[in-house]
Every structure is written in structure tokens, then in C-alpha cells.
Structure 1
Amino acid sequence: MRGSDPIREVHILGAGRMGQGMALAFAYAGLGVTLIDFKTRHADARAAFAAAARGEIARQMRTLVSLARITDAQAEEALARIVVVDREGARVTLGQSAIVFEAVPEVIEAKQAAFDWLCEHVDATTLIASTTSTFLVTELQRIVAHPERVLNAHWLNPAHLMPLVEISRSAQTADSAVQGVVALLKRVGKVPVVCGPSPGYIVPRIQALAMNEAARMVEEGVASAEDIDTAIRTGFGLRFSVLGLLEFIDWGGCDILYYASDYLARQIDPRFLPAQRVVDNMRDGRDGLRDSRGFYEYGNVDVQAYLHQRIAEFMRGLDSTGLAPVFNAALSRTPDPAPAS
């Protein structure tokens, strides 16, 4: 990244839904955004697309106003930070850009064309962060000049609201490139995590398993779609908004997962067999909190303070959803009527 001054403007190549969402996130946080429509269009179509893109971003702003997150004036201020241009219009400032986020369609030919064009117009030190959820950073680095400045920055929809951005790097990616993107994302209020060049990154890989398992339960008649989704919202989702999956293994004890996985593998399908790391932790006596070690180390942790903090965080989540336990609730609520005989 050029210089040590904080970035004041970002360029986003690709003005579709993801590009618009990222533009809104950066503009909302106070940065200028040049949103580049990479597709070749006739003049009238180009103007119409730019107007539609700005209109959609403005609509999202109005939603935030209606939810009392910002004022009308603040919405206008943020919207004014976003400029929608075509390729020719982008040339004016692209050469001075410190970072470009690529968000063109998930087609390798489109990526190739986008990177070829970018490499003609950006400086050799400009960071390039692809938002692709399909292609690994190692694949993209093969088609980019100066591959050490390239990484994946996978945003979750809606990009302007979801905090997480998954950064996928390779051994070839420069540490300074990772540090630069992480620092920028933190400045705008995002929560970046770093992973290797593995298909599915972190969330999509776990999410695909969970979604398919929910669909299988509907197929098998285990429960209705409505009840499964209610269970996810009020159980699974609430719990794991506070405790990470691996932290929860340590919290409850690795033995619970180990034996539950073995039972499910025998009763349903071998896909439920415990991961080798779970087997290894059982063998090595890394059962979690009770052994002071598991996926995390707890030897120097004040466990009671840690537990208190997590319960407090969980209670705040229950309060925000209106699901916190109510003292004497059974004494104040009218029982549901008995079903007709």
C-alpha cells in the first residue's frame, strides 16, 4: 500500500448488488467511493445504469433513515461520497488508488478481463481485493501482475450491514497486503478474519452443511420448515452469536460432541462421524474448560469472569430479541385455551 496516510477513498470495480453494498458500507463510514461500471454500454444505457445503481443505494439509505439509524441529512452526505463512473471515467483517479475491490460476475472470463484492465491502469503497489466466493486467491494470482498484492475479501450480504469480511490469502500474498486490508476494514467497522486458500472460506463452508442438513430434515419429515427455522433462530443462532462453534465445544466439553457424533453417525449417516481433531482432543485430554485446555487454552484465564462475561453477552442478545426469561411469567400470562374436543 502506498504511503502511510490512511485511505480516504476506495475504488470498487463492478457496480452490481455486491459492489453497491460495499460502496454503501464505505460511504456510510465516511470514505469516498468510486464505483466503476465495468460493463461496456451505449451512452444512454450507461447513464440509466448509473442512475439505477445510485437509486438502489439511495433506497438502502432511506431504509436506514426509516429505522432511525441516520438522519436525512446524513443519508444525503453519505450518498454524495459515492461516484458511479464507467471505465473511461475511472481512469482519472485509478492510477492514484491505494486499493481496488473487484466485484464483477463470478465467471473466470469476466475476472480475467477485469484484472487485465486493472493491471493496465493501477500502480504496481495498489492492493487488489477480489470479493469472489468461487475462485481461490491462488487461481486469481495466476492472472494478475504483481500477485503478492492480491487477496480475496469475501463480504456477506447485505454488505453494508454484515460485520464479517473473510480475507483469504495464499503464501504468495504479502503480509503487508493483508495488514493493509485488515486495517482498512476495521476502520470502517467491519470484522475481518483471515483464512487460507480453501474452497468455501469459513462461513460458506459451514453454512452449506447446515443448510443442506435442514433441507434433509424437511425431506425426511423430521419437522416442518417453520419449526426448523424457529429452532435455528431461537436456539442455534442465538447461542452462536455469543459463543463460536469451537468455543462452544470447549464450553460444553469435547466428550459431548464426540459421543453425540458417534451416535448420529450410527443412527443416521457416517457423515456425522467426529472430526479427527475432536478424536485427537479426546485422546489428549483436551476436553475444554474442565481440563483448562481444548481448542483454546484456559490455564491463565479467570474462568468465572469469562463465564460471567459470556452469560451477560447472551442475556443482551435475549433482551434484544424479546426472548429473555421473565420473572413470574407463568403468574401473569393467560394460559392458551384448551383445544376443542
Structure 2
Amino acid sequence: MSARGHIACLGAGRMGRGIAVAFAYAGHPVTMIDIKPRTAEEFAKLEREALGEVRATFASLARLGMLQAADADRLMARVTVAPASESSEVLGQTTLVFEGVPEIVDLKREVLGAASRAVGPDVIIASTTSTILVDDLSGAIEKPERFLNAHWLNPAYLIPLIEISPGKATDPEITARLKALLEGIGKVPVVCAATPGFIVPRIQALAMNEAARMVGEGVASAEEIDKAIRYGFGFRYAVLGLLEFIDWGGGDILYYASRYLEGALGSERYRAPDVIERNMAEGRIGLRTGAGFLDYSGMDVAAYREQRLGALVEMLRHFKLARPPVVD
């Protein structure tokens, strides 16, 4: 048995399988617990499907150079699927529980409540819901101070980011423990308030809807818009965060650009938020003033700019777009 903590996933669907891959890859034993009572034949079918997908994922990662093909069997040995009838036994031995059942409040509350009564008193319990607020679920949990949300982005085994959303009852120490555990398997957790859409889904919903709207308006073809995203929008934001990018150019530029777009396109959705005006009034415009959304005081700004430009050059190389100068 691994010295690393045992992870339990409530549900053996897409999210449970992705989390199993991530933790098994990092050396943890993982059990996906089926939440639905089934016949032996039905469970055997689910088990084959779940383990088959996990094995196929490890094979894909081997082809992509993330592991040696010979390592796949060792990683697979860390992953099991348990029937609903064995859930209490499994949960009694686990150190961390992730819930990944369908986005139905009553179902999640039922499954989470039962799990909270089966695990040890200090075991962290995390939902992975992408839509339901943590406080809509915490009332079903025994010791809700050890409950919070951990929103993984698919594919869970590859995307580094995990959005941690504590509830009103969550003990800050639990948030810190989960953050450290996730960092320990190579993830990049961020903490956000329990609000609809968290961080990434809220931003990407706006961006995706706007891209679709431009196709509908005939601004450009889907192919051209996606090319613009890959080589412009996404290219820059792989290096510079959105708020960092505002500071890079200046909050005043965003303010005046937003006013123009709001008028030209006749839509309030382009209006700059109040925080942009407040920052301008306080002289927090960005790099030019030493502060914006981020603080640049005491920083070697020239060195910082060159470091970020160097990262963009690496992006050019990644896309095979870096070329030598023409010097003749």
C-alpha cells in the first residue's frame, strides 16, 4: 500500500475517472465508488468501462511522452472501482473525498451526507460541482467545516488549474490543507468566493458567447475567429494574466476603448466596471504608475518586461512561428 493518502471519488463517471488518473499518476491509491445500486453484471460492466478509460488515458499519456508505456500497469494498480455496497468500507479508509455525481442538488446532498457520516472526522470532503454553490450543499454534511468545492477543468488529469471555493462554514485550515494537497500532485489551485461561475467559467462564458455572436453577425468565419483566438487572444494570455495585461497597457486604455465599443456596438456589455474608473481616479493605471490591479513598486520593471517578452518568444517557438531576421 502506498504511503500517500488514499483518495475516494464518489462516482465513476468522467470527472471521477479524470481525478483518478491525476492522483494515481502522482502516486496515490484511488477508488471510484459507484453511487448507484446495481446487479453484479451491471457493476462489472461499469467497472470495465471506467478502468478501460483510465487505462486508455495512461496509454495516451505514454504516447505523448508523459510516462513510459511500461509504467502504465503500475499506475493502473493504484486505481480501483467499488460498488455502492462497499462505500462505507472504502470511505472509512480514505483521507480525501471528491464528489463527482450529476449536477442535481438533491442527489449531491444525499451522496455527500452519507459520505460525511462514513469518513473519519478530519477527512476533507470536496464537491467538484461546476454550477452549484457550496453553501447549497453544506447543510447535508456532518462537520461542514471540512467541506468545500474544488472545481476541476477538463481534462482533469491535464489542466493544472483547480478553483477552490470554500463555503461560509469552511475552516480556513481545510482550505489551506486542500490547496497544499493539490499542489503536491502538480496542480495550480486558486481560491475564489462561492459565486456562480467561479473564475474561469464566468470569463469563458462571456468570451465564447461573444465569439459565437460574431459568427452570427458575419464579422468573420468560425475558422478565422478561432485563428485569432489561438494566435492573438490565447497567445498573450498564456503568458500574461487578464488583469496583468490591463496593467501592461494601462487601465485608461481599457476605459476609453470600452466607451467606444459600448457606443459603436450599442451594447452595455462593453461598459468598463466601476473598479476601472476607481483605479484611474487613484492613479492606479498600471505599469506606468507603479500600481494597477497588481503592485509593481520596488520591481525592476524593465527586467519584468523582458522576462514576459521572453515567455512570448517561447510561445512563438512553440507555434513554430519564430524566424531568424532577414539581414541581407
TM-score, normalising length: structure 2: 0.96
Query: Are the counterparts in 2 of residues 13 and 19 from structure 1 also a CA contact under 8 Å?
Result: yes
Question: Is the CA contact (8 Å cut-off) linking 2:58 and 2:72 kept in structure 1?
Answer: yes
**Which stretches in structure 1 are left out of the alignment for 5+ residues?**
1-5, 332-341
Whichever residue aligns with residue 321 of structure 1, its letter is: F
Determine whether 1:287 maps to 2:285. Answer: yes
List aligned pairs for 1:115-134, cutoff 5 A.
115-134=112-131
* Alignment coverage as a number of residue pairs: 325
How many angstroms apart in 1 are the aligned matches of 2:262 and 2:194? 29
**Contact 1:34–1:90 at 8 Å: present in 2 too?**
no
Which sits farther off after the overlay, 82-91 or 176-185? 82-91
1:12 to 2:9 alignment: yes
Q: For residue 257 of structure 1, what is the amino acid of its counterpart? A: L
Deviation at 1:35, TM superposition (A): 1.1
- Map of 1:310 onto structure 2: 308
User: 1:202 matched to which residue of 2?
Assistant: 199
State whether residues 167 and 195 of structure 1, in contact with CA within 8 Å, keep that contact through their aligned partners in structure 2.
yes
Q: Which residue of 1 aligns with 2:317?
A: 319
Aligned to 2:38: 41
Of 132, 137, 140, the residue aligned with 1:140 is 137
**Separation (CA, whole Å) in 2 of partners of 1:203 and 1:143:** 27
Distance in 1, Cα, partners of 2:95 & 2:25: 19
Q: Distance in 2 between matches of 1:238 and 1:74?
A: 34
Tell me, yes or no, if structure 1 residue 112 matches structure 2 residue 87.
Answer: no
1:205 and 1:14 mapped to 2: Cα distance?
26
Q: Is the 8 A contact 2:258 2:271 kept in 1?
A: yes
Cα displacement (A) at 1:62? 1.1
Q: 2: CA distance between counterparts of 1:64 and 1:168?
A: 29
Query: Are 1:214 and 1:228, in contact at CA under 8 Å, matched by a contact in 2?
Result: yes
Aligned to 1:59, the other structure's residue is in SS state: helix
Match of 2:180 among 174, 180, 183: 183
RMSD: 1.4
Q: CA–CA distance in 1 between the matches of 2:75 and 2:325?
A: 44
* 1:1-341 to 2 correspondences below 5 Å: 7-268=4-265, 269-328=267-326
Normalised TM-score (structure 1)? 0.92
Counterpart residue type for residue 32 of structure 1: P
Percent of residue pairs identical: 49
* Range with bigger deviation, 179-188 or 112-121: 112-121
CA distance in 1, matches of 2:130, 2:148: 12
C-alpha distance in 2 between matches for 1:182 and 1:90: 26
Letter in 2 for 1:178: T
Quote the Cα distance in structure 2 between the aligned partners of 1:96 and 1:55. Answer: 25
Distance (Å, rounded) in 2 between the aligned partners of 1:7 and 1:290: 48
Query: Given that residues 32 and 80 in structure 2 are in contact (C-alpha distance below 8 angstroms), is that contact kept between their aligned partners in structure 1?
Result: yes
Structure 1 residue ranges (4+ consecutive) displaced by more than 6 angstroms after TM superposition: none
Letter in 2 for 1:287: I
1:7 Cα offset (Å): 4.5
SS where residue 137 of structure 2 aligns?
helix
CA contact (8 A) 2:4 2:29 kept: no
Q: For residue 93 of structure 1, report the CA deviation from its aligned partner.
A: 3.3
